[in-house]
Each structure stands twice: as structure tokens, then as C-alpha cells.
Amino acid sequence: MSKTDVSRRGVLKTSAVAGAGLAVPTIFTAQSAAAFTNEPTGSSVTLGFNVPQTGPYADEGADELRAYELAVEHLNGGGDGGMMNTFSSKALQGNGILGKKVEYVTGDTQTKSDAARASAKSMIEKDGAVMITGGSSSGVAVAVQALCQEAGVIFMAGLTHSNDTTGKDKKANGFRHFFNSYMSGAALAPILAANYGNDRKAYHLTADYNWGYTTEEAVRNSTEALGWDTVAAVKTPLTQTDFSSYIAPVLQSGADVLVLNHYGGNMVNSLTNAVQFGLRDKEVNGKNFEIVVPLYSRLMARGAGANVKGIFGSTNWHWSLPDAGTQAFVKSFGTKYGFPPSQAAHTCYVQALLYADAVERAGSFNPCAVGEALEGFQFDGMGNGPTLYRAADHQCFKDVLVVKGKENPTSEFDLLEIVEITPVSQVTYDASIFGGELGACNPGA
Amino acid sequence: MFGLNAKDTRLLIIVAILTMLAPFILNPFPEGSAMAQFNAGYPDLMQRFVIFGIFAIGFNILFGLTGYLSFGHAAFLGVGSYAAIWMMKLLTMNVIPAIVMGVIVAGLFALVVGYISLRRSGIYFSILTLAFAQMSFALAYSVLTPITGGETGLQPKVLDPRILDGPLAEGATPKANLFGLTMSSSYEMQVGGWLFTFNVGYYIAAIVMLVAFYLAIRLFRSPFGMMLRAVKSNQQRMNYTGLNAKPYTLAAFVISGMYAGLAGGLLVAMDTQVGPERMFWTASGEVVLMTILGGAGTLIGPVLGAGAIKYMENILSKINSDILHTWFAFLPDGLEDLVVTLIYPFIGKGWHLTLGIIFMLVVIFLPGGLVEGGQRIAAWFRGRKAKGSDKDASGTTTEPAE
């Protein structure tokens, strides 16, 4: 090793430098005159749209961004106003938010929590965003929600379906409009029982991560309550692209229903494999073999093509709904981009409007005031019927759609048909069942 | 000073000045101007510059000196992060135990991985480390969910035990701190149109980085460092002279893993959250890119490379087509659209493309990385001044990657 000469002079010099170095940070202490983080002082207000632009959910992210751009246009008084005309609250004037023009910054979450937090932080610290919204996976939503809680800004979750987001990881500054695994299970089970009978044997294939676990649990609990039997639940790696080796044992297990707790590309591949294996033509225990996909999206249905025909699943919203809010939104989205919006686009658009409306009603951008305006807020005209933002866990409660792959699609967007609109009372649960602590709102600064 | 020769002391002092004045240097454009988009002087990015600088310095000790290319260094970063967050959840929100534990656990993990992987060299070694890192990622993502929080990751919660800390005030959230000084607190200085942010977390990370940099210089100049270089240039010859290279390479591997653990611990200290993607193979690849882009085997290169990549990831990726349109609004409509269409693939989500092109250009034309570029420019200036009176311009020779 190197030779070390320790002289008295050397020690003194080194320790003096080290001491000065250690003293540096104590000069700086937090100080700020603003009442809350990024209080907008000029004639405009900045919102942060944090969506996946690269990675497995880039399609959803692109659609979310389109929806946000549309929402900003409507908030600033451009376009045809979309859902602002059908929204039950009339606080929004089309002159921005509280008279301030809405501006926005965008970022790429890459569907990684680190990248999403870095991007959200730069929006908060550099661009002065007063609200962060977007995202297409629960891991990212939970990570960014916690960051917004620390930083003292509002987080309006985008597409996130895991129970955790408003369950064990809920935060006072975070709000979710999208439904969750529990609601999917509760809405789907009665339909499955009605169509397939009460004495079915189910086999679960579950994506091996948090969302998969909560979805499997929800579907299991609600189907078992109706008399179904769960034969086996097998976890599949998230990166799996060929599910043949997982499908083969299903036939030997004696099960007569396959539940695919998969999302995105996973679901497209596993469903395609299952159909190619001829599962749906089989007859087990004297019954037709069936396949179920708890969380459906139009983008996934398009990926799986003809294989989705007749397969049940649940979804948050679908563009073919007949209500005025949906029609207004589909019309303005279609006029601008030339095709109907996905459910990811819908939830993001609604979240942006709900935030703006809450600010108007609260009369302030202060996260605590906005949170108070959103808590227990009841509204209608946003495409899901009467909806409640529950105060206890910041989760929206609304009807859930049970859908089925259409037998005769008329276009590449018309792939799902609505089987039933499950009333909100059937999917409501007690706020405390998932644990977690909401905490107090944090205005930052 | 500090047992360094004059040249190294100068380098250390320059690096120290640059890091201490970073809030000024990285914010050259006034707030609200069109160029403010390129400002990088906000706390989060500055913290990432120095933390990934530490990560790359550590990687360079292994790769730059011994030539062993580890493709799984992100595993140590991740393990350090998980250790640090558990210290925060169980013990205290003070960052010191968290960082120390991050270094220790990453070091132990590196000892195990290194002991096995170093039985092979070259491509086999790279694949072994890659396999270990992907294994760690898979474990953290699903199998070890009770310990790692799975996909969702871990964060400090209000209800965590934190046995050394007093109870939180009503409604307060746990914040990472150094004896009460929170990492996120900043002092903002307004000078004319400029806004400079001095962040506590950044300065703590910067001081740790300077210490890590100093230790790396000492290691580079020590007989131990010389032995590592010998491993790189001809390991067989070393073996024939009766020297066993294994303890040296293993020591370098563990030191390098500890640097990664230190970076992981600091990441948690600055931003209290860990997710498994931190260990994904792309994260391991990133540190290789940083080191090669900056200049493998040089002292300052990895830090420059880390800065360049983090800058592109955070600044370029945020430019969207609207911003481009405002920049080129002065052009006639058709031309404006054309220019925007031409530039658009390289910004926003296309920042990977830009990074790839720069990386290729650097590897082809500047095999010694950005450091070589700097030296060539310096040599060119010196050459012009001296008008060929002496040819000492290339006194500081680079050592290319391999």
C-alpha cells in the first residue's frame, strides 16, 4: 500500500479543510415566503404531465398525452369545451384556472419509478408545476404519489389499477379516478356466475408483481364467494412472451375456466397462446372451457385481435357508452385526433378537469384547499354516471363496466361490447380493508 | 496537499470548485428566457450528477484499472439502496446510518458475487455478473416482495418503527435529514433574472463525492493501483512471476461494489424511495456507457460521462414538439414545420437516439472519451500559442479503454 507520512502540520491542515467542508451545509436553511410549493404568481399556471413515452406502455402514454393536450385546450377556452359542457359542476369558465392561463410541461416516466420520480422532481423543482398527473402503472403511481406528498403538490393518478394506490400506499395529496382490482373482481364475479354457472373450477395465471397479486386476490375472493373453486394459481414472469409452457398444465388440472391476470403485452401473448392451444373448443367436466381477463383495455384487445371474441373482462370506461359526457368527449377527441380515445385517455382527461374544477371551487391552488374540495365531491356528466371522490381514501366510486370481446367488430376500434354496467353500490368496500394511512395534506414550502 | 502530487492536487481543487459552484455554473440562462429549458441547476439533477459520478468513479476502479468489464454493477447500487431504506424505516431518518449500511451491505454482496465471478475473466466474467444482477432484479421484483416491496418498491411510512427517532409531529411525514437538517431544504438566491438554488442534499452528496474522488486518486497512484494496471496489461505474466492476481482483482471488485453501494445509499438519502428497476440490466449498461463516454481509466472521465448522460436523460427528454414550435416560430410556416420534423426524432422520447449517436461518435473519433476531446482542444490551443516551439503538448497521455 502507499506510504503515509502523518505530520502534525498535515493533520491540522486536513482537519481544517474537512471542518470547513462540514460547516458549509449549515449555512443553508429552508426559507421561503410562499404559502405553498410553487404558488403560481404570474398570469399562468403550470401543470406537469408525467406519462410513459418509451417502454411497454408507450401506447397508453401517447394517448394520455393527447387527452391532456385536449383538456388544456378546453380549460383555456379553445375547442368545443368537451366534457366541460356536461360536467355537473359549472365552476370552470373556459378562462384557464382561476383566470390564469394553463400551461404544461411533459416528461417521460419510462415506466420506471426512478425515472418517473426524476421527471416529476424536475417538473416541481425546475418548471414550477403545481400539480403532477399521469402514469400507466401502479408502481410508478405509488412512487410519484409519495414524492408529491413530500414535495407538497397534488398528484392526480392516471391509469393505475392496483389496490395499493389508494389502499396501503394512499397519501393525502394523491387522488385516483380509475377503478381498482377489488372493483374488477366484485363487478365481474356475478356476471361470470350468471354466464358460466356456480360450480366452476378456475385456474389463475398471474403476472408476478404487485398488480397481478391484488387482481388475483380480488377475483379469487369474489368468485369463491359465489361457489367457484380455485384449482391453482401460477405466477408468470413479467418478461415472459411465450406462455405455452404455462398453458399446457391447465388442461391436466381439471380446471374449466382460465383467469389471465395479465395486462398489456403479457395479456396479448397469453391469450393468444391459450386460444391457439384450442382451450376454448375443449369441454371439461361437461362444460365449455372459458377464459376470463379481469382488466381489459381497447389497446390490448386490438393487440390480441380475433382471440378476444366472447371473452369477459372489466374496464373503467368505453367510448361507445351512450351518455352525454362520453359523447361530448369522444366527439372532441375524435375531431382533433381522428380516432376514439382509450380508457387511459379518458381517466387522464377527467382527472385534469376535476383538478381544475376543485381549484376553482376552493378559490386557491393550495394543495390542502384543493384536497378539501375534492374530498367527498360528488359529480356527474364525466362518462361514468354519478361519481363520488371518497374522502377516506381519495378513491373514486362509480359504476364499473363489464365488457366482452365483440363477435363481429365493425372497425379496429369497435372491439368490445358492454355486457353490464355494474352499479356502484356493488363495488363499494370499506376504506380500511387495505390498511395504510392517508396522513395529513402537505402544502410544502 | 493530502499526499497528492501537484497535478493531482490541481485536479482535485478544480473538481472541488466546480462542484461547489455548480448551482451557478449549471444555471447560465435567466429564468423565463427561451434558453432556460437548458438549465440544469435544480437540486434533483445536481444530486444525480454527483451520485452517478460516484457510481461511475467506482466502476472505473474495476473496469479502468483491471480491465474486468462488470455488466452487473447496478445490483450493488440496488442492494445499497435497499439496505439504506431499511435503516431509515427501522432505525432513524438520519442519513448517516443509511449510507454506511448501504456501503457495508453492497460490499458484502460484492464479495460473494466477486468471489464466484472472478474465477473467470473476459466475456465469461461479464456474463456472470450480468446473470447475478438480473437474478437480483428478479428476486427484488417478485420473489422477495415482503422485503423489497416488489414492483412498488419501498418508502418510509409514518407508521415505521424508527426506534432512534422521537415521535413525529402530528401530520408530519418522515424526512431524510442530517441531525435535523432536511435534505430537501434549499436556499434560493435571486440575482436579476437568475435564480440559483443551494440545496442541502446536493452539498452533502457533493462533499461525499469529493471524498470518494480523493480516495480514487490515492488508489490510482498507489502500488495497489499499479498492481491492478498490471492485471489489465498482462495477467499471465503476473502469474508466471509468482504473483496471485485474484486477491487484487477481488479487492478492486469489492471496493468498486462499495462505491456503488455508497451511490445507492446517497440516492435513498436524497430521494427516499427504492424500486427494483434500479437493478435492471439497462441500469448496469448505463454505468458502462458513462465510463466509456467520459474516458475509461482516467480520473475525471467517468464523472463527466455520468454528467453528460444524466443531462440528456433529464433535459433533452423534456423538450416536446410545442417547445420546438415556439423556438422556430420566427421561420415561415412551411419551413418551421420542416425544421421541427427534422429535429423532433432526436428530442423528447428520442433522447436515446441522440445519446446513441454521441456515444458512437465518441467511441469512433475519441477512443479516450470526453477527456481525450478536452485534451485535444487544450493541446490545439497550446500548440497555437507555442507555435511548435516545444512538443510537450501531449504530456498527459490518455489510456484508451482496452
Q: A271 and A238 in one domain? A: yes
B353: cell is 437516439
Q: Is the pLDDT of residue A24 over 60?
A: no
Interface of B with A in 326-385 (CB under 8 A): 348-349, 352
Instruction: Residue B170: list chain A partners with CB under 8 A.
Output: 440
Q: A258 and A378 in one domain? A: no
> pLDDT for A268-285, tens place per residue?
899 999 998 888 888 888
Tell whether B85 lies on the interface with A, counting CB pairs under 8 A: no
Lowest-pLDDT range of B216-220, B362-366, B395-399: B395-399
- What are the angstrom distances between the C-alpha of B224 and each of A233, A256, B118, B122, B283? 54, 66, 18, 21, 29
DSSP letter at A112? -
Q: A373 and A277 in one domain? A: no
How confident is the model at residue A278, as a pLDDT?
Answer: 87
Instruction: Residue A162: list chain B partners with CB under 8 A.
Output: 152
Residue A295 in domain: yes
> pLDDT for B334-360, tens place per residue?
888 888 888 888 887 788 899 999 999
Q: Is the pLDDT of residue B396 over 70?
A: no
Instruction: Residue B198: list chain A partners with CB under 8 A.
Output: 28
Cα-based torsion angle of the residue sequence B238, B243, B244, B245 in order, rounded to the nearest 10 degrees: -40
Of A10, A24, A442, the CB nearest to B203: A24
DSSP letter at B122? H
What are the b/e assignments for B175-203, b being 16+ CB within 10 Å? ebbbeebbbbbbbeeeeeebbbbbbbbbb
Could you give the ipTM of this predicted complex? 0.83
- Per-residue pLDDT band for A14 (boundaries 50, 70, 90) equals low
Of A30, A149, A442, the CB nearest to B185: A30
> pLDDT for A124-149, tens place per residue?
988 899 999 998 888 899 999 999 99
Contact A169, B183 (CB under 8 A): no
Residue of B nearest to A58 (CA): B349
How confident is the model at residue A318, as a pLDDT?
Answer: 92
Give the minimum alpha-carbon distance from B203 to chain A in angstroms, rounded to a whole number. 6
How many structural domains are present in chain A?
Answer: 2
Structural domain that includes position A301: 182-315
Q: Is the pLDDT of residue A334 over 60?
A: yes
Residue A1 in domain: no
% of residues, chain B, pLDDT over 90: 55
How confident is the model at residue A15, as a pLDDT?
Answer: 66
Contact A199, A192 (CB under 8 A): no
Residue A221 in domain: yes
Average pLDDT, chain B: 88
Residue A165 in domain: yes
- The answer to whether B197 contacts A439, with C-beta atoms less than 8 Å apart, is no
Residue A37 in domain: no
Of B185, B278, B317, the CB nearest to A108: B317
How confident is the model at residue A26, as a pLDDT?
Answer: 43
Instruction: Residue A106: list chain B partners with CB under 8 A.
Output: 318, 320, 348
> pLDDT for B277-330, tens place per residue?
899 998 999 999 999 999 988 999 999 999 999 998 888 888 877 788 888 888
Q: A197 and A166 in one domain? A: no
Domain end call among A315, A342, A374: A315
- The answer to whether A28 contacts B185, with C-beta atoms less than 8 Å apart, is yes
Residue B93 exposure: Cα atoms within 13 Å on the Cβ side: 25
Q: Is the pLDDT of residue B382 over 80?
A: yes
Residue A414 in domain: no
How confident is the model at residue B395, as a pLDDT?
Answer: 43
Residue B360: count other Cβ atoms within 10 Å of its Cβ: 10
How confident is the model at residue B391, as a pLDDT?
Answer: 45
Of B153, B186, B352, the CB nearest to A139: B153
Residue A434 in domain: no
Q: What is the CATH number of the domain that holds A132?
A: 3.40.50.2300
B15-20 contacts at long range (C-beta below 8 A, 24 or more positions apart): B15/B210, B15/B213, B15/B300, B15/B303, B16/B210, B19/B50, B19/B206, B19/B209, B19/B210, B20/A24, B20/B203, B20/B206
Q: A195 and A173 in one domain? A: no
- The answer to whether B152 contacts A440, with C-beta atoms less than 8 Å apart, is no
Q: A99 and A248 in one domain? A: no
Of A10, A139, A151, the CB nearest to B152: A139
Q: A311 and A186 in one domain? A: yes
Does the domain formed by B6-280 have CATH 1.20.1530?
Answer: no
The SS3 of residue B38 is helix
The ranges assigned to domains in chain B are: 6-280
Instruction: Residue A107: list chain B partners with CB under 8 A.
Output: 317-318
Domain end call among A288, A315, A342: A315
Of A114, A126, A437, the CB nearest to B277: A114
Q: A299 and A219 in one domain? A: yes
Q: Is the pLDDT of residue A31 over 50?
A: no
Domain end call among A265, A282, A315: A315
Lowest-pLDDT range of A23-32, A333-342, B183-192: A23-32
Instruction: Give the pairing type, strands A229-236 and A400-405.
Output: unpaired
The SS3 of residue B198 is strand
Residue A50 in domain: yes
Tell whether A206 lies on the interface with B, counting CB pairs under 8 A: no
Instruction: Residue A150: list chain B partners with CB under 8 A.
Output: 173, 175, 184, 272
How confident is the model at residue B341, as a pLDDT?
Answer: 86
Positive or negative torsion for Cα B184, B187, B189, B190:
positive
Q: What are phi and psi of A204, to 5 degrees?
A: -100, 135
Give the minimum alpha-carbon distance from A71 to chain B in angstroms, rounded to a whole number. 15
